Chains A and B, each alone.
Chain A
Amino acid sequence: MLDIRSLSKKFGAGNSAFHALKSIDITIEEGEFFTLLGPSGCGKTTLLRMIAGFEQPSGGQLVLDGKDIAMIPPNNRPVNTVFQSYALFPHMTVAQNVAFGLEARGATPSEVAGRVDEMLEIVQMSHLRDRKSSQMSGGQQQRVALARALAPRPRILLLDEPLSALDLKLRKQMQVELKRLQREMGLTFIFVTHDQDEALTMSDRIAVMEGGTLQQVSDPRALYDHPANRFVAEFIGDANFLAGVIADAKLGMAGQPPVPLPRNEAANGPVTVMIRPEQVVVGPLAKDAITLNGRIETLVFSGNDTQASVRLQNGETLRLRAQNNLHAETTLTEGQRLQVSLPLDALRLLPQEAADAA
């Protein structure tokens, strides 16, 4: 549906030019909830603004339904935006805000009225249709902004961190509602956020961005379980990184004898071994695991689980999460010596980056 082809954007010129986006390629499918995720300054908002038409690319194409729209002004693109600040027109009522896009397109008054009623119904704002936007709460403004952007039936809805101004409880509730709306109406959403939880819970697919480049594009589960590199592993969830060496399909780490790997995924040489803290097992495992000795340095109780920081014999630190289950066989105490096991199928071998060597 939307083909982003080698899209790039640079601000400024010459040596001082800033490359906000460096040759991005993504294909977004019809009916998909697609999230652009990354820290601030990674280029996700620039990409969104280019799809909306507020910025012009320095190179590449934006092909929507087979047509390059990269140079088409925003008012001629079948794409609407829900802004971070909502940007509701303060001098208009809720209904007038929702009608705006339809009227600007020249819809007949009866079409406008019908569609406005329908949209207000969908976002459950019919009872406030004559309110001014300044007299509404953040959550209500959010719904109006959504109705306004959806009213002209855009091919794609762009959402620029729309939930970031809401408090936690409302945010969770809106996440569910947004997702439901998108699925029920079969809409295509491109959602920008820096919040990894939000991205994981709502998206069909996530593109992780950093420094103007795509780090990985996949579904939430694959992103979490099989991060492509250290940045993705660190940005999504919590991760341990340990040094390892591959030799003849065997992995050696932390001074232990090399263990044969189930699948030979990596070439010989040093690697970074990633494991999620919740995958670390306390105590020895019979097979297909690397068992290491260590000592608990710190324990942090956080309700449903306890996070322990274990100093391994070779000096590396391993963090683990243990569920606080009443019937758990072992209890952890600070200073305790223990064995921890790293199941082989929970290990991810990441290419070693320059930063890892330091």
Chain B
Amino acid sequence: MAEKRFDVTHMPGVATIAIVTFLALYIPVLILVVNAFNASDTAGRWEGATLRWFAAALDNTAFRRAALNSAIVALTAATLSTVLATAAALAVTRGRHIKGQGGIFVILNQPLLVPEIVFAIALMVVLAQVKQATGYQGLGYVIVAHTTFCIPFAFLPIRARLSGMDLTLETASMDLYASRFYTFRRVTLPLLLPGILAGFMLAFVISLDNVVVSSLIKSPGQETLPTYLMGELRRNLTSEIYAISALLLFASISIVAASWFVTRTRQ
């Protein structure tokens, strides 16, 4: 192509802006991680590397309980939301045209449209009534709440995968004596799997680092990792908090990386 097109990457200063943005995003995180390994009690003075804070965190029963809660909530909410999102994606892309299909998108994207704090307060008010009526105080409320806002995140990669899938494959399966269910099990589902995994991991991460909804919905005494950290912060900024933050960060990054890897290789 001889004709020169406008290309933003050729504008002056693009590289500089990119580098500054990158540093602004990652330097604070890097400092936090470094502090988590710092032998000194006070941040900012490096006294050699240690795993002491990690050991202290793992020894801390309150942290362990919060981590376990987070894991339970994230796993269950991600699983539930992925199942629902898969069903929704199948209905939208495969089913006959349903009346008011636009409405489905409004429902699915509710968590993106309604401010999180508004949703959290609304849910808190309703669930408070339910808690009083049933007497149940468990993690179920947090799980249900997390499931709702995880659905759109699980939905997007699944739907993308489904709409990119060649419909002829399902036709071919039906042509080769497969029932609808057999076709779903042997053709649609295996081909959809990378999308489902990506959706699941995305939902898992979204649930894992949620603060606002968790802190308003949880019953007294219940903590997830982020709400536990918030509580600890109010009292004292210790190196143990850095270590816990670093752990949360590693968990999040590895899951996102894994999901990226899965979608890349299983195309």
Residues in chain A within 8 A of chain B (CB atoms): 52-54, 73-76, 79-81, 83, 85, 87, 89-91, 100-101, 104-105, 148-149, 152
Contact = CB atoms under 8 A, between A and B. Distances in A.
A152 B172 CA distance: 13
A334 to B, nearest CB: 40
B166 to A, nearest CB: 7
B93 interface: no
Given A75-B178, A100-B178, A104-B182, A81 B191 contact: no
Interface string B133-177: 000000000000000000000000000000000101101111111
Nearest 6 Cβ contacts at the A-B interface: A101-B176, A87-B172, A104-B178, A87-B168, A104-B177, A105-B177
24 contacts: A53-B175, A54-B175, A73-B174, A75-B174, A75-B177, A75-B178, A76-B177, A79-B175, A81-B172, A81-B175, A83-B168, A85-B166, A87-B169, A87-B171, A89-B172, A90-B191, A100-B178, A100-B186, A101-B176, A104-B173, A104-B176, A104-B178, A149-B175, A152-B177
Contact of A87 (B166, B178, B191): B166
Contacts of B171: 54, 74, 83, 87
A45 to B, nearest CB: 13
Given A52-B175, A104-B178, A91 B191 contact: yes
A100 B176 contact: yes
A52 B168 CA distance: 13
Name the prevailing secondary structure of the B interface residues.
helix
B60 interface: no
Contacts, number: 60
A85 B187 CA distance: 16
B179 interface: yes
A152 B177 CA distance: 9
State which size class the interface on B falls in.
Answer: 10 to 19
Given A53-B175, A89-B169, A104-B173, 4 more contacts: A81-B172, A89-B173, A101-B178, A104-B176
B191 A83 contact: no
Contacts of B187: 89
Interface in B2-29: none
B231 interface: no
B179 A75 contact: yes
B168 A74 contact: no
Nearest to B172: A87
A52 B177 CA distance: 11
A23 to B, nearest CB: 26
Contacts of B166: 85, 87
Interface string B165-209: 010110111111111001000110011000000000000000000
A100 B190 contact: no
Nearest to B169: A87
Counting chain B CB atoms within 10 Å of each CB, the highest count among A100, A105, A152 belongs to: A100
Nearest to A96: B186
B176 A152 contact: yes
Nearest to A80: B175
A79 B175 CA distance: 8
B192 to A, nearest CB: 10
Nearest to A52: B175
A301 B59 CA distance: 91
Nearest to B176: A101
Contacts of B182: 104
B168 A75 contact: no
A85 B186 CA distance: 20
Given A90-B191, A91-B190, A83 B179 contact: no
A344 B173 CA distance: 55
The residue among A74, A79, A105 with the most chain B CB atoms within 10 A of its own CB is A74
B186 A75 contact: no
Contacts of B178: 75, 100-101, 104
Nearest to B168: A87
A74 B174 contact: yes
